[in-house]
Amino acid sequence: MSPLPPSPNLCQNDTSKTDANGRFFRHPEPEKPRTRIWPVFLSFKGCPGRCVFCAQPVQSGTRPQPLEATLDALERDLAAAVRDGRGPYELAFYGGVFTALPEPWPARFLAAAARFRQAGVISRVRCSTRPDACSPPLLAQLADQGLSLVEIGVQTFDDAVLAASGRGHDAAASRRAARQIIEAGLGLGVQLLPGLPGHEPATLARDVAETCALAPEIVRLHPCLVVDGTPLAALYRAGGFSPWPLETTLDALAAAVLPLWQAGIRVARLGLAPEPGLEAAVLAGPRHPALGARVRARALLALIAAEVRALGCAPAGLAAPRRFAGELFGHAGELLQAYADLGLPRAGVRFCDREDFHLRVQAV
Protein backbone atom coordinates (compact mmCIF):
# COMPACT_ATOMS: atom_id res chain seq x y z
CA MET A 1 0.00 0.00 0.00
CA SER A 2 1.01 3.61 -0.41
CA PRO A 3 1.95 5.76 2.62
CA LEU A 4 -0.76 6.17 5.22
CA PRO A 5 -3.96 7.86 4.07
CA PRO A 6 -4.23 11.51 5.16
CA SER A 7 -4.90 11.84 8.86
CA PRO A 8 -8.40 12.57 9.99
CA ASN A 9 -9.04 15.85 11.72
CA LEU A 10 -8.79 14.83 15.34
CA CYS A 11 -10.55 18.00 16.43
CA GLN A 12 -13.72 16.34 15.15
CA ASN A 13 -13.10 13.22 17.23
CA ASP A 14 -14.46 14.52 20.51
CA THR A 15 -14.36 11.04 22.07
CA SER A 16 -10.52 11.12 22.33
CA LYS A 17 -8.90 11.82 25.67
CA THR A 18 -5.44 11.41 27.14
CA ASP A 19 -4.60 10.59 30.76
CA ALA A 20 -1.64 9.10 32.63
CA ASN A 21 -2.47 5.65 31.19
CA GLY A 22 -2.42 6.75 27.56
CA ARG A 23 -4.95 7.80 24.99
CA PHE A 24 -8.54 6.59 24.69
CA PHE A 25 -10.74 6.98 21.64
CA ARG A 26 -13.72 5.41 19.90
CA HIS A 27 -14.29 4.27 16.35
CA PRO A 28 -16.27 7.08 14.72
CA GLU A 29 -18.52 4.97 12.48
CA PRO A 30 -22.22 5.69 13.15
CA GLU A 31 -24.30 2.72 14.23
CA LYS A 32 -25.90 0.68 11.44
CA PRO A 33 -29.71 0.39 11.44
CA ARG A 34 -31.07 -3.12 11.85
CA THR A 35 -33.72 -2.83 9.13
CA ARG A 36 -33.02 -4.80 5.97
CA ILE A 37 -33.32 -3.29 2.50
CA TRP A 38 -35.83 -4.72 0.00
CA PRO A 39 -34.43 -3.51 -3.35
CA VAL A 40 -36.66 -2.95 -6.38
CA PHE A 41 -34.69 -2.37 -9.60
CA LEU A 42 -36.27 -0.14 -12.20
CA SER A 43 -33.64 -0.76 -14.91
CA PHE A 44 -33.23 2.62 -16.64
CA LYS A 45 -36.89 3.63 -16.20
CA GLY A 46 -37.09 7.44 -16.10
CA CYS A 47 -33.54 7.92 -17.41
CA PRO A 48 -33.21 10.77 -19.90
CA GLY A 49 -30.26 9.01 -21.61
CA ARG A 50 -27.39 6.72 -20.70
CA CYS A 51 -24.60 7.96 -18.45
CA VAL A 52 -21.27 6.68 -19.82
CA PHE A 53 -20.55 4.34 -16.92
CA CYS A 54 -23.99 2.88 -16.31
CA ALA A 55 -24.99 -0.75 -16.96
CA GLN A 56 -27.99 -1.11 -14.68
CA PRO A 57 -29.21 -4.61 -15.69
CA VAL A 58 -25.70 -6.05 -15.18
CA GLN A 59 -25.05 -4.10 -11.97
CA SER A 60 -28.37 -5.09 -10.43
CA GLY A 61 -28.64 -8.58 -11.92
CA THR A 62 -32.20 -7.68 -12.99
CA ARG A 63 -33.59 -7.91 -16.54
CA PRO A 64 -35.46 -4.82 -17.76
CA GLN A 65 -39.22 -5.29 -17.64
CA PRO A 66 -42.34 -3.11 -17.85
CA LEU A 67 -43.21 -1.18 -14.68
CA GLU A 68 -46.53 -3.08 -14.47
CA ALA A 69 -44.56 -6.36 -14.14
CA THR A 70 -42.24 -4.81 -11.53
CA LEU A 71 -45.22 -3.69 -9.44
CA ASP A 72 -47.03 -7.04 -9.78
CA ALA A 73 -43.91 -8.95 -8.67
CA LEU A 74 -43.36 -6.56 -5.76
CA GLU A 75 -46.94 -6.92 -4.50
CA ARG A 76 -46.81 -10.71 -4.84
CA ASP A 77 -43.46 -10.98 -3.00
CA LEU A 78 -44.48 -8.58 -0.23
CA ALA A 79 -47.74 -10.48 0.28
CA ALA A 80 -45.67 -13.65 0.71
CA ALA A 81 -43.46 -11.84 3.24
CA VAL A 82 -46.56 -10.83 5.23
CA ARG A 83 -47.86 -14.43 5.19
CA ASP A 84 -44.45 -15.73 6.33
CA GLY A 85 -44.15 -13.11 9.08
CA ARG A 86 -40.93 -11.65 7.62
CA GLY A 87 -39.78 -8.06 7.87
CA PRO A 88 -39.88 -5.22 8.44
CA TYR A 89 -37.96 -4.05 5.40
CA GLU A 90 -37.02 -0.68 3.98
CA LEU A 91 -38.29 -0.63 0.41
CA ALA A 92 -35.70 0.86 -1.96
CA PHE A 93 -36.33 1.80 -5.60
CA TYR A 94 -32.98 1.71 -7.40
CA GLY A 95 -31.59 1.47 -10.90
CA GLY A 96 -33.60 4.20 -12.59
CA VAL A 97 -34.88 7.70 -11.90
CA PHE A 98 -37.82 7.18 -9.54
CA THR A 99 -38.83 10.84 -9.44
CA ALA A 100 -38.87 10.98 -13.25
CA LEU A 101 -41.02 7.89 -13.77
CA PRO A 102 -44.04 8.68 -15.95
CA GLU A 103 -47.27 9.40 -14.11
CA PRO A 104 -48.88 7.66 -12.31
CA TRP A 105 -46.03 5.29 -11.47
CA PRO A 106 -44.39 7.00 -8.47
CA ALA A 107 -47.83 7.27 -6.84
CA ARG A 108 -48.73 3.65 -7.70
CA PHE A 109 -45.51 2.29 -6.19
CA LEU A 110 -45.89 4.45 -3.09
CA ALA A 111 -49.54 3.44 -2.67
CA ALA A 112 -48.50 -0.22 -2.73
CA ALA A 113 -45.75 0.53 -0.22
CA ALA A 114 -48.29 2.29 2.05
CA ARG A 115 -50.57 -0.78 2.03
CA PHE A 116 -47.70 -3.06 3.02
CA ARG A 117 -46.54 -0.54 5.60
CA GLN A 118 -49.94 -0.94 7.25
CA ALA A 119 -49.41 -4.71 7.15
CA GLY A 120 -46.14 -4.17 9.06
CA VAL A 121 -43.75 -5.56 6.47
CA ILE A 122 -42.43 -2.18 5.25
CA SER A 123 -40.93 0.39 7.62
CA ARG A 124 -39.60 3.07 5.26
CA VAL A 125 -39.40 3.78 1.53
CA ARG A 126 -36.41 5.24 -0.26
CA CYS A 127 -35.51 5.84 -3.88
CA SER A 128 -32.52 6.84 -5.93
CA THR A 129 -32.78 9.59 -8.49
CA ARG A 130 -30.97 12.29 -10.46
CA PRO A 131 -30.28 15.73 -8.98
CA ASP A 132 -32.09 17.38 -11.89
CA ALA A 133 -35.32 15.45 -11.22
CA CYS A 134 -36.06 16.84 -7.75
CA SER A 135 -38.46 19.78 -7.98
CA PRO A 136 -39.80 21.01 -4.61
CA PRO A 137 -43.51 20.42 -5.48
CA LEU A 138 -42.74 16.86 -6.60
CA LEU A 139 -40.67 16.14 -3.48
CA ALA A 140 -43.46 17.47 -1.25
CA GLN A 141 -46.01 15.29 -3.06
CA LEU A 142 -43.85 12.16 -2.78
CA ALA A 143 -43.18 12.85 0.91
CA ASP A 144 -46.97 13.08 1.44
CA GLN A 145 -47.37 9.76 -0.36
CA GLY A 146 -44.96 8.03 2.02
CA LEU A 147 -41.46 8.44 0.58
CA SER A 148 -38.90 8.67 3.41
CA LEU A 149 -35.47 9.20 1.85
CA VAL A 150 -34.07 10.24 -1.54
CA GLU A 151 -30.60 9.21 -2.69
CA ILE A 152 -29.21 11.48 -5.39
CA GLY A 153 -26.59 10.36 -7.87
CA VAL A 154 -24.20 13.25 -7.31
CA GLN A 155 -21.20 11.22 -8.58
CA THR A 156 -18.88 14.23 -8.09
CA PHE A 157 -19.10 17.99 -7.58
CA ASP A 158 -16.58 18.58 -10.40
CA ASP A 159 -18.41 20.03 -13.42
CA ALA A 160 -15.75 18.94 -15.95
CA VAL A 161 -15.97 15.33 -14.73
CA LEU A 162 -19.78 15.43 -14.83
CA ALA A 163 -19.68 16.72 -18.43
CA ALA A 164 -17.16 14.05 -19.47
CA SER A 165 -19.44 11.41 -17.94
CA GLY A 166 -22.48 12.48 -19.91
CA ARG A 167 -24.52 13.23 -16.80
CA GLY A 168 -26.36 16.20 -18.26
CA HIS A 169 -26.40 18.18 -15.01
CA ASP A 170 -23.86 20.20 -13.07
CA ALA A 171 -22.78 20.27 -9.43
CA ALA A 172 -25.10 23.20 -8.70
CA ALA A 173 -28.04 20.90 -9.48
CA SER A 174 -26.77 18.44 -6.84
CA ARG A 175 -26.38 21.13 -4.18
CA ARG A 176 -29.85 22.48 -4.97
CA ALA A 177 -31.46 19.02 -4.94
CA ALA A 178 -29.83 18.14 -1.61
CA ARG A 179 -31.18 21.32 -0.03
CA GLN A 180 -34.65 20.76 -1.48
CA ILE A 181 -34.81 17.14 -0.33
CA ILE A 182 -34.02 18.18 3.24
CA GLU A 183 -36.48 21.11 3.04
CA ALA A 184 -39.18 18.63 1.96
CA GLY A 185 -38.63 16.75 5.23
CA LEU A 186 -37.05 13.77 3.46
CA GLY A 187 -33.86 11.96 4.41
CA LEU A 188 -30.95 12.62 2.06
CA GLY A 189 -28.57 10.08 0.56
CA VAL A 190 -25.58 10.94 -1.66
CA GLN A 191 -24.00 8.57 -4.16
CA LEU A 192 -20.41 9.32 -5.23
CA LEU A 193 -18.60 7.62 -8.10
CA PRO A 194 -14.84 8.05 -7.70
CA GLY A 195 -12.64 7.47 -10.75
CA LEU A 196 -14.87 8.81 -13.54
CA PRO A 197 -13.05 10.36 -16.55
CA GLY A 198 -10.89 13.21 -15.24
CA HIS A 199 -11.61 12.42 -11.58
CA GLU A 200 -8.60 12.26 -9.24
CA PRO A 201 -8.22 11.27 -5.57
CA ALA A 202 -7.82 14.97 -4.68
CA THR A 203 -11.18 15.63 -6.37
CA LEU A 204 -12.74 12.90 -4.23
CA ALA A 205 -11.41 14.59 -1.10
CA ARG A 206 -13.17 17.81 -2.19
CA ASP A 207 -16.34 15.83 -3.02
CA VAL A 208 -16.31 14.37 0.48
CA ALA A 209 -15.89 17.80 2.08
CA GLU A 210 -18.88 19.10 0.08
CA THR A 211 -20.87 16.02 0.97
CA CYS A 212 -20.20 16.47 4.69
CA ALA A 213 -21.45 20.05 4.39
CA LEU A 214 -24.76 18.78 2.95
CA ALA A 215 -25.21 16.52 6.02
CA PRO A 216 -26.79 13.49 4.31
CA GLU A 217 -28.01 10.52 6.31
CA ILE A 218 -26.11 8.04 4.14
CA VAL A 219 -23.43 8.01 1.43
CA ARG A 220 -22.56 5.34 -1.11
CA LEU A 221 -19.14 5.18 -2.71
CA HIS A 222 -19.04 3.18 -5.93
CA PRO A 223 -15.59 3.27 -7.56
CA CYS A 224 -15.92 3.53 -11.32
CA LEU A 225 -15.68 0.21 -13.19
CA VAL A 226 -15.57 -0.29 -16.95
CA VAL A 227 -18.57 -2.49 -17.74
CA ASP A 228 -18.89 -4.05 -21.18
CA GLY A 229 -21.54 -2.49 -23.38
CA THR A 230 -21.27 1.01 -21.90
CA PRO A 231 -19.92 4.11 -23.66
CA LEU A 232 -17.11 4.06 -21.08
CA ALA A 233 -16.09 0.60 -22.31
CA ALA A 234 -15.77 1.96 -25.86
CA LEU A 235 -13.67 4.86 -24.56
CA TYR A 236 -11.50 2.42 -22.59
CA ARG A 237 -10.98 0.18 -25.63
CA ALA A 238 -10.00 3.23 -27.70
CA GLY A 239 -7.37 4.14 -25.09
CA GLY A 240 -9.24 7.25 -23.94
CA PHE A 241 -9.88 6.20 -20.33
CA SER A 242 -7.93 4.45 -17.58
CA PRO A 243 -9.73 3.45 -14.38
CA TRP A 244 -8.08 4.02 -11.01
CA PRO A 245 -5.70 1.25 -9.92
CA LEU A 246 -6.95 -0.82 -6.98
CA GLU A 247 -4.33 0.52 -4.53
CA THR A 248 -5.14 4.14 -5.41
CA THR A 249 -8.82 3.38 -4.91
CA LEU A 250 -8.36 1.67 -1.54
CA ASP A 251 -6.33 4.58 -0.17
CA ALA A 252 -8.66 7.24 -1.60
CA LEU A 253 -11.76 5.51 -0.22
CA ALA A 254 -10.13 5.05 3.18
CA ALA A 255 -9.35 8.77 3.24
CA ALA A 256 -12.97 9.45 2.25
CA VAL A 257 -14.83 7.33 4.79
CA LEU A 258 -13.17 8.77 7.90
CA PRO A 259 -14.42 12.35 7.54
CA LEU A 260 -17.85 11.01 6.62
CA TRP A 261 -17.99 8.86 9.75
CA GLN A 262 -16.68 11.73 11.86
CA ALA A 263 -19.47 13.91 10.51
CA GLY A 264 -21.97 11.26 11.69
CA ILE A 265 -22.73 10.10 8.13
CA ARG A 266 -23.22 6.40 7.51
CA VAL A 267 -21.37 4.88 4.55
CA ALA A 268 -23.99 2.45 3.32
CA ARG A 269 -21.96 0.79 0.59
CA LEU A 270 -18.38 0.64 -0.66
CA GLY A 271 -18.28 -0.74 -4.21
CA LEU A 272 -21.00 -2.49 -6.17
CA ALA A 273 -22.87 -5.47 -4.78
CA PRO A 274 -21.42 -8.72 -6.21
CA GLU A 275 -24.25 -9.61 -8.61
CA PRO A 276 -23.90 -12.80 -10.70
CA GLY A 277 -22.66 -11.82 -14.15
CA LEU A 278 -21.10 -8.53 -13.03
CA GLU A 279 -17.54 -9.81 -12.75
CA ALA A 280 -17.67 -11.34 -16.23
CA ALA A 281 -18.93 -8.04 -17.66
CA VAL A 282 -16.28 -5.84 -16.02
CA LEU A 283 -13.46 -5.10 -18.43
CA ALA A 284 -11.31 -3.11 -16.02
CA GLY A 285 -11.42 -1.13 -12.82
CA PRO A 286 -10.72 -1.40 -9.12
CA ARG A 287 -12.54 -4.37 -7.62
CA HIS A 288 -11.80 -6.93 -4.97
CA PRO A 289 -14.08 -9.38 -3.13
CA ALA A 290 -13.10 -7.74 0.18
CA LEU A 291 -12.96 -4.15 -1.08
CA GLY A 292 -15.17 -2.76 1.68
CA ALA A 293 -13.27 -4.56 4.45
CA ARG A 294 -9.92 -3.42 3.04
CA VAL A 295 -11.08 0.19 2.91
CA ARG A 296 -12.45 0.05 6.46
CA ALA A 297 -9.17 -1.44 7.73
CA ARG A 298 -7.11 1.32 6.10
CA ALA A 299 -9.43 3.96 7.50
CA LEU A 300 -8.99 2.48 10.97
CA LEU A 301 -5.21 2.45 10.48
CA ALA A 302 -5.29 6.15 9.55
CA LEU A 303 -7.36 6.89 12.66
CA ILE A 304 -4.98 4.99 14.93
CA ALA A 305 -1.94 6.60 13.27
CA ALA A 306 -3.40 10.01 14.01
CA GLU A 307 -4.09 9.02 17.63
CA VAL A 308 -0.49 7.77 17.99
CA ARG A 309 0.72 11.17 16.76
CA ALA A 310 -1.61 12.90 19.21
CA LEU A 311 -0.23 10.73 22.02
CA GLY A 312 3.11 12.45 21.47
CA CYS A 313 5.28 9.46 22.40
CA ALA A 314 5.86 5.89 21.29
CA PRO A 315 2.92 3.70 22.36
CA ALA A 316 3.60 0.69 24.60
CA GLY A 317 0.65 -1.18 23.13
CA LEU A 318 -2.94 -0.98 21.97
CA ALA A 319 -6.07 -2.48 23.51
CA ALA A 320 -8.83 -2.64 20.90
CA PRO A 321 -12.50 -3.67 21.00
CA ARG A 322 -12.79 -7.37 20.15
CA ARG A 323 -15.16 -6.65 17.26
CA PHE A 324 -12.19 -5.22 15.31
CA ALA A 325 -10.06 -8.37 15.69
CA GLY A 326 -10.75 -9.52 12.14
CA GLU A 327 -10.34 -6.08 10.62
CA LEU A 328 -7.48 -4.26 12.31
CA PHE A 329 -4.49 -5.83 10.54
CA GLY A 330 -6.24 -5.78 7.18
CA HIS A 331 -7.00 -8.36 4.54
CA ALA A 332 -4.48 -11.24 4.87
CA GLY A 333 -2.51 -9.10 7.35
CA GLU A 334 -1.63 -6.51 4.70
CA LEU A 335 -1.38 -3.75 7.33
CA LEU A 336 0.86 -5.59 9.81
CA GLN A 337 3.99 -3.73 8.70
CA ALA A 338 2.22 -0.35 8.83
CA TYR A 339 1.21 -1.05 12.46
CA ALA A 340 4.75 -2.19 13.29
CA ASP A 341 6.00 1.10 11.83
CA LEU A 342 3.69 2.90 14.27
CA GLY A 343 5.30 0.99 17.14
CA LEU A 344 2.39 -1.44 17.32
CA PRO A 345 3.57 -4.90 16.22
CA ARG A 346 1.06 -7.74 16.45
CA ALA A 347 2.39 -8.71 19.90
CA GLY A 348 1.64 -5.19 21.16
CA VAL A 349 -2.05 -5.32 20.24
CA ARG A 350 -4.67 -7.16 22.23
CA PHE A 351 -8.41 -7.40 21.75
CA CYS A 352 -10.67 -7.02 24.77
CA ASP A 353 -14.33 -6.70 25.70
CA ARG A 354 -14.36 -2.92 25.61
CA GLU A 355 -15.98 -0.28 23.42
CA ASP A 356 -13.08 2.15 23.13
CA PHE A 357 -9.47 1.87 21.95
CA HIS A 358 -6.67 2.41 24.46
CA LEU A 359 -3.17 3.37 23.31
CA ARG A 360 -1.04 2.50 26.33
CA VAL A 361 1.99 4.56 27.35
CA GLN A 362 3.35 1.81 29.58
CA ALA A 363 2.93 -1.93 29.51
CA VAL A 364 0.27 -3.19 31.94
| Interacting residue ranges for ligand SF4, rule: CB under 6 A | 44, 47, 50-51, 54, 56, 95-97, 130, 153
| Minimum CB distance to ligand SF4, residue 251 (Å) | 25
Residue 332 pairs in a beta bridge with none
Our CA dihedral for 185, 187, 193, 198, rounded to 10 degrees, sits at 30
Residue 284 pairs in a beta bridge with 226
Q: Smaller CB distance to ligand SF4: residue 8 or 153?
A: 153
Q: Are strands 266-270 and 218-221 parallel, antiparallel or unpaired?
A: parallel
| Minimum CB distance to ligand SF4, residue 200 (Å) | 21
| Minimum CB distance to ligand SF4, residue 104 (Å) | 21
| Minimum CB distance to ligand SF4, residue 48 (Å) | 7
Q: Smaller CB distance to ligand SF4: residue 54 or 272?
A: 54
Q: Smaller CB distance to ligand SF4: residue 112 or 152?
A: 152
| Minimum CB distance to ligand SF4, residue 44 (Å) | 6
| Minimum CB distance to ligand SF4, residue 153 (Å) | 5
Q: Smaller CB distance to ligand SF4: residue 146 or 153?
A: 153
Q: Smaller CB distance to ligand SF4: residue 178 or 302?
A: 178
Q: Smaller CB distance to ligand SF4: residue 56 or 262?
A: 56
Spatial CB neighbours of 117, under 8 Å, sequence gap ≥ 6: 123, 125, 146
The b/e string for 77-112 (b: 16+ C-beta within 10 A; e otherwise) is ebeebeeeeebbbbbbbbbbbbbbbeeebbeebbeb
Strand spans (E) along 233-348: 266-270, 282-284, 317-321
Positive or negative CA dihedral for 289, 295, 298, 304?
A: negative
| Beta carbons of 193 and 252 less than 8 angstroms apart | no
